[in-house]
Every structure is written in C-alpha cells, then in structure tokens.
Amino acid sequence: MVALVLPRLVGFEGPVRRSAAVAGRNADALRSAYWLVMISGFAEPVIYLLSIGIGVGSLVGDLTLPSGAVVDYAAFVAPAMLASAAMTGALAETTFNFFGKMKYMRLYEGMLATPVRPFEIALGELAWAMVRGSLYSAAFLVVMVALDLTSAGRALLAFPAAVLIGFAFGALGMSLATFMRSWQDFDLMASVQFALFLFSGTFVPAESYHPALRWLVEVTPLYRAVDLIRGISIGTDEVLGGLIDVGYLLLVTVVGLVIAGRRMTTLLCK
C-alpha cells in the first residue's frame, strides 16, 4: 500500500510510469535471436573464468591478498569476471543499441511526441539495461557457487552489488553514447573497455602495478566494481573500502543519468 501511495504523494507516479513504459517497449520488441546475443555476452566471462581462473590458476596456485588473506586464484578472478559481465551487459544496451535507436531509428523522436520526457527515456533505457545486466550477474553467480568459488550466502549479497555496477555502467554508457558521431566511434570505446577489463585488478592485485599506474587503475569504475564484488565474495571485511566503492558507483550513476538526460534534451529537442 505504501509503495502505491508514496509515488502519488511525491509526484513521481507519472515519470516512473512513463520510464517503465519505455522499458516495457523494449521487452515487447524482443525477438528470439536477441537471446542468442545475451547468451554470448554471458559465455565470454565464463570462458575467461574457466581458461584463466581455473586453467592458469592451476599453475599460479594460491594468491595472498594485501589484507593477508590467502585465496585460490580462481576465487580471486571470479568476482572480476562477475563485475565484467555486469559491465558488458549494461554497456551493450546503453551504447550500441541506444545509439542506433537515437541516431538512425529515430525512435526517441516519436516518444517525445507523447508526454515522455528525455530524462524519462534515459531512465527507462537504463532500467531495461539492468534487466540484461542482472540476468548475466545472476547466471554467473550460480556458476560461481556451483564451482565452489563463493558461498550461496555471499552470492546473495553480491547480487545487489552487481546490479549497482550495472546501473553505474549503464548510466555511463548512455551518457557516452550521446557524444558518439558514428559507428566508428565505438571502436575507440571497445578499446577502452578492453583495457579496463585487463587492467582493473582483474587478474592481478592492483598493488602489483607501479605506484603511478596503480593510482590510475584504482580511479577507474571497473576497479571499484571489482573491489566491491571481491570484498563480498571472498569476505575481506573491509567496510570502509566497500563504502567507498558503493559511493563511487552511485556517483557515476547519478552523473551519467544527468548528462544523458541533458544531452538527449539538446539533441532531440532542437
């Protein structure tokens, strides 16, 4: 009852409903081939986990973290693959697909002929991106538990963190997509995304890098995401570090949404 009354009291029922309609439109537009794309996006981090985390991990052995905890290498890599899966799912929806709808399909221009506003479109697209990111995250957590790389209880705690990561990268990707001029610009974004994947404490602790490079690594959004998930799944109990990670990702989400909403207003409401 509170959930139904509160939006009416604060005046958010209309915007929330319109944003949900944008997300619902994407759900209605699903085709069977789309699920093949989603499966491929989930398969990539699992392959990395099996090949590097377990395959190379058999040669590396146990890894001693800066906190002093000793963990299996696969258990060290798995949280990074989860964070990467959440990032990949969110970015795929809010960059490539979002750009196509806005630049070539002109879908959003039709939406603006209705009471839907640019910020509500951005929020609806982000909500839909989170459906994809959450599916990736949930499936990958099942794999982690099945391989005994974390406990079921920690997996349940890690899922909301993975959803937050998806929100952050979804908002970031959407804001970047509004600055894209053509499909060729996505080549640069793919390069940056792959660099983040390799150098965000994914396969080695950030402390292994040169101090100057380590500082650069630790300010990237994927590192904060990896650090948050790893702290939950391994159980390092670094409360302050976890709060910093959450605050960082929330800030990225808010800033990304604001930029995306304003840019869409500029581009679509000329």
> Is the pLDDT reported for residue 46 higher than 70?
yes
> Is the pLDDT reported for residue 159 higher than 60?
yes
The pTM score is 0.83
For the ranges 5-9, 48-52, 129-133, 208-212, the maximum mean pLDDT occurs at 208-212
CB 122 within 8 A of CB 148: no
Q: Region 111-120: what's the mean pLDDT?
A: 80
Which pLDDT value is given to residue 105?
79
> Is the pLDDT reported for residue 23 higher than 60?
yes
Which pLDDT value is given to residue 208?
84
pLDDT, averaged across the chain: 81
Q: Which of 77-81, 136-140, 214-218 has the lowest mean pLDDT?
A: 136-140
Please state, in angstroms and as integers, the Cα–Cα distance from residue 27 to each residue in 35, 75, 86, 148, 241, following that order. Answer: 12, 34, 19, 34, 37
Q: Region 30-39: what's the mean pLDDT?
A: 59
Please state, in angstroms and as integers, the Cα–Cα distance from residue 48 to each residue in 52, 59, 105, following that order. Answer: 6, 15, 35
Q: Which two tokens stand for residue 251?
A: 């800030």
To which H or E segment does residue 178 belong? none
The CA distance from 141 to 233, in Å, is 10
Instruction: Using alpha carbons only, give the angle 127, 101, 225 rounded to the nearest 5 degrees.
Output: 40
Which pLDDT value is given to residue 37?
58
> Is the pLDDT reported for residue 168 higher than 90?
yes
Rg over CA atoms, the chain:
19
**Res. 29 pLDDT band, cuts 50 70 90:** low
Work out the burial of residue 14: count CB atoms within 10 Å of its CB; fewer than 13 is exposed, 13-18 middle, 19 or more buried: middle
Q: Region 73-93: what's the mean pLDDT?
A: 88
For residue 72, the SS3 value is strand
> Is the pLDDT reported for residue 156 higher than 90?
yes
Q: Which residues contact 158 (CB under 8 A, 6 or more apart)?
A: 79, 82, 141, 150, 229, 232, 233
Which pLDDT value is given to residue 268?
73
Closest CA to 250 of 220, 221, 227: 221
Q: Region 231-258: what's the mean pLDDT?
A: 87
Q: Region 150-159: what's the mean pLDDT?
A: 91
**Res. 64 pLDDT band, cuts 50 70 90:** confident
